[in-house]
Structure 1
Amino acid sequence: MKRSMLGMKQSLACALLLAVTPLPAGAANLVKTYSYFAIGGSTLEDIEAQLSKRGPEVKSTGMRHPGATQMAFTTRISYAQTSSSCRIADAVVTVKVKVILPEWRRPRKADADVRLFWDTLSADIKRHEERHVEIAKNHGRELEEALKATYPQKNCDAAKAKAAAITAAVLASHDRAQLQFDRVESVNFESRILRLLRYRMERIGNGQLPPA
């Protein structure tokens, strides 16, 4: 069983990479929803096959993933114009995210070690996607603050161009941060899952968690 667990971890490490699907444009305000896809199977191999078959497809990779986060950034900007200048009077950035997670329809015949591994894996998938949401929200806040801090421009066309440039720069930084997070997570996946498995087993042994 240990060998099959390790094999599944290695393949899932690749699947977790780039499990973020950006939608149309950049969020101090956050609107978050959850969606679940059902999987079955009584063995680790069954679960891996189900995740590969039923997981959300991410356009940037062309692959299915065990989880994904779809993001849509929207920016509302108002301008104040005088006879000699135009400035951003207010900016409100909102990020709308949809977190897509697996839901295992656990068969009665599933072994305890399979249930233990699933509980550990599913919790890590959710943590991974929630971190993507946090990265997006932080960059949304950064974008909103940057827009509000801009100096007046000679006219509103120039102010709008400045807002567009700031938005593009912050969203590019956001994309890089998401990619870097995925790279780190992928490299550390196996050691992290093993550590989480040991921790969960210790908590079960200490009576802090019910048996899997």
Structure 2
Amino acid sequence: MSTGLAHAAEITERTTYFMVRGATFAELDKALGSNGPLLGGGERHAGSTKVTFSRDLEFKTEKTGCHVSRTNLRLDLVTTLPRWNAPRGADVHTRTMWKVLQHDIAEHEAKHTAIAKSWLDRMNRELLALPAEPTCARMEMTASRRSQDMQLAHAKEQNGFDRAETRVVDSRLNAKLSAAIKSVR
């Protein structure tokens, strides 16, 4: 059986926004910290991507035992990004800096989405490739354990990406901001 016929995956993506207010970049930065999505640890962030995997597997018994015959995986992604309607008093530098920051936040969250989608593909492949078990009850337990392991590995990769970003975000943003401000002058 071709794996193209043996798996189904549904991806739903939704973007929500939270408002930030201010006329200066300092005010916008403060608004991000007080209005952004609340994540683990009680901290607010400039953006977030909530990832939810779910699965419904089908099994088939053959001479070699029971195996996963079809995966019906689902990935739900909810990205939350900041939105700012510039007030009349906002100067061109603040507007430029906001555009750079907003774009950088959206790129960061898009990377989280890409990581999740790559894990959905990997889950499909690995669940279908599991070796047969003597019974379907045992195959279901094996598939469930493997799914949990892959979800933990997915979370570890997402956290690793955030840790790596923390180390480079300031220098990357400063370079983008400097270039953007020079182009405004």
Deviations along 1:68-90, one digit per CA (max 9) or x if unpaired, are: 11111011210112477211111
Q: Deviations over 1:22-60 (max 9, x none)?
A: xxxxx95421111011111001221122112211111x2
Of 27, 39, 45, the residue aligned with 2:26 is: 45
What is the Cα deviation at residue 61 of structure 1?
A: 2.1
Aligned counterpart in structure 2 of residue 153 of structure 1, from 128, 133, 138: 133
Residue 92 (structure 1) shift: 2.5
Match of 2:158 among 178, 194, 198: 178
| Cα-Cα RMSD | 1.9
Rounded Cα–Cα distance in structure 1 between residues aligned with 2:95 and 2:63: 69
Helix, strand or coil for the counterpart of 1:90?
A: strand
Moved more, 189-198 or 93-102: 189-198
Deviations 1:116-167 (A, max 9, x none): 1110000000000010011011111111100011111000111001101110
Tell me the amino acid that sits aligned with residue 141 of structure 1.
D
Tell me the distance in 2 between the aligned counterparts of 1:161 and 1:135. 26
Q: What is the correspondence of 1:121-160 to structure 2 with a 5 Å cutoff? A: 121-160=101-140
Whether 1:70 aligns to 2:50 is yes
Q: Which runs of 4+ in 1 moved over 6 A?
A: none
Q: TM-score, normalized by length of structure 1?
A: 0.78
Deviates more, 1:47-56 or 1:32-41: 47-56
Which residue does 2:178 correspond to in 1?
Answer: 198
Match in the other structure for 2:12: 31
Gaps of 5+ in 2: 1-7
Count of paired positions: 178
Match in the other structure for 1:61:
41
Q: Is the counterpart of residue 162 in structure 1 residue 126 in structure 2?
A: no
Distance, in Å, in 1 between the alignment partners of 2:9 and 2:117 is 6
Q: State the TM-score, normalizing by the size of structure 2.
A: 0.89
C-alpha displacement at 1:105, in angstroms? Answer: 1.7
Q: Which stretch of structure 1 is more off in the superposition, 127-136 or 110-119? A: 110-119
The answer to whether the Cα contact below 8 Å between 1:84 and 1:155 also exists between their aligned partners in 2 is no
Distance 1:130 1:109 in 2: 31
Aligned counterpart, 2:3: none
**Is contact 1:29–1:137 with CA below 8 Å preserved after alignment?**
no
* Residues in 2 aligned to 1:50 and 1:169: alpha-carbon distance in whole angstroms: 38
Residue 32 of structure 1 aligns with an amino acid whose one-letter code is: E
